[in-house]
């Protein structure tokens, strides 16, 4: 039997996607083990949620470190914890070279829009303001660009005339919680190929 893949989750806030991943593992919908949940913010509610779920939760403050210095230390910490994959879940920092090199093509992110539309902050608000009829969420591999790596999976969410930012965000988040564990199941199984920007299931 293959060993269970070991993942780390990085977050900066609420942590509902981290919880969705943890619950998918508990329910045997995802074969993985969370070896660390880490946050750059001590006050992140997601850290408390992780502890409640019995997961090892760590605050990893920036202190005075520059981006690369911080990411090098974080990479060493995650490696030490045994992580093979890193899942960003509401992690509000750009990932730099030392972390990318420590986990090549093994850092995953979820973003609340249909990329390449509306990268960056407040994607749901951007979608409403632009007037699109459909938005959604995207799971993608992380590279040095903002929300720009190869796309693994997407889910479409219609934008309703009655939507405000909170309501659209709520319906997108529902899809995020389904999509992220599903996309991870594909990645962690290893049964995928990357061709350029395309991530496809190996047949
Ligand atoms: C989600 O909308 C995710 O797509 C974005 O940040 C939000 C994090 O929410 N990257 P949570 O902390 O997982 O609840």
Q: What confidence tens digit (pLDDT) does each residue in 97-115 have?
A: 999 999 999 999 999 999 9
Within 10 angstroms of residue 178's Cβ, the number of other Cβ atoms is 15
Residue 116: cis peptide before it, omega within 30 degrees of 0: yes
What's the confidence (pLDDT) of residue 6? Answer: 98
Whole-number Å distance between alpha carbons of 1 and 21:
22
Residues forming beta bridges with residue 6, ordered by sequence position:
33
Domain count, the chain: 2
Return the closest-CA partner of residue 40 out of 19, 71, 16: 71
H/E stretch holding 112: none
Question: 71 with 133, same domain?
Answer: no
| Of 10, 11, 12, 16, best ligand 1 pocket probe by most atoms within 8 Å of the beta carbon | 16
Measured in Å, residue 78 CA sits from the centre of ligand 1 at 21
Residue 112 Cβ contacting ligand 1 at under 6 Å: yes
Question: 122 with 199, same domain?
Answer: yes
User: What is the atom index within ligand 1 of the atom nearest the CA of 176?
Assistant: 4
- Rounded mean pLDDT for each run of 10 residues along the chain, 203 residues in total: 91 98 98 98 97 97 92 97 98 96 98 98 98 98 94 98 98 98 98 95 90
pLDDT digits (tens, 9 = 90+) for 83-94: 999 999 999 999
Question: 91 with 69, same domain?
Answer: yes
H/E stretch holding 161: none
Residue 149 Cβ contacting ligand 1 at under 6 Å: no
Question: 60 with 96, same domain?
Answer: yes
What's the confidence (pLDDT) of residue 203? Answer: 82
Specify the pTM: 0.97
């Amino acid at each position: 039997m293959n060993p269970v893949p070991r993942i780390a989750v990085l977050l900066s806030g609420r942590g509902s996607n981290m919880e969705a991943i943890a619950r998918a593992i508990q329910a045997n919908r995802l074969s993985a083990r969370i070896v660390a949940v880490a946050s750059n913010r001590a006050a992140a509610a997601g850290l408390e949620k992780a502890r409640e779920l019995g997961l090892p939760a760590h605050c990893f403050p920036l202190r005075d470190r520059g981006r690369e210095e911080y990411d090098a230390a974080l990479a060493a910490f995650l490696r030490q914890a045994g992580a093979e994959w890193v899942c960003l879940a509401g992690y509000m920092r750009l990932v730099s070279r030392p972390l990318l090199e420590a986990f090549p093509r093994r850092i995953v992110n979820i973003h609340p829009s249909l990329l390449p539309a509306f990268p960056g902050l407040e994607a749901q608000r951007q979608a409403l303001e632009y007037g699109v009829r459909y938005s959604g969420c995207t799971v993608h591999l992380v590279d040095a660009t903002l929300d720009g790596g190869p796309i693994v999976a997407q889910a479409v969410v219609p934008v309703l005339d009655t939507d405000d930012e909170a309501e659209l965000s709520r319906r997108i988040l529902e899809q995020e919680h389904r999509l992220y564990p599903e996309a991870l199941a594909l990645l962690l199984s290893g049964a995928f190929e990357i061709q350029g920007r395309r991530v496809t299931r190996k047949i």
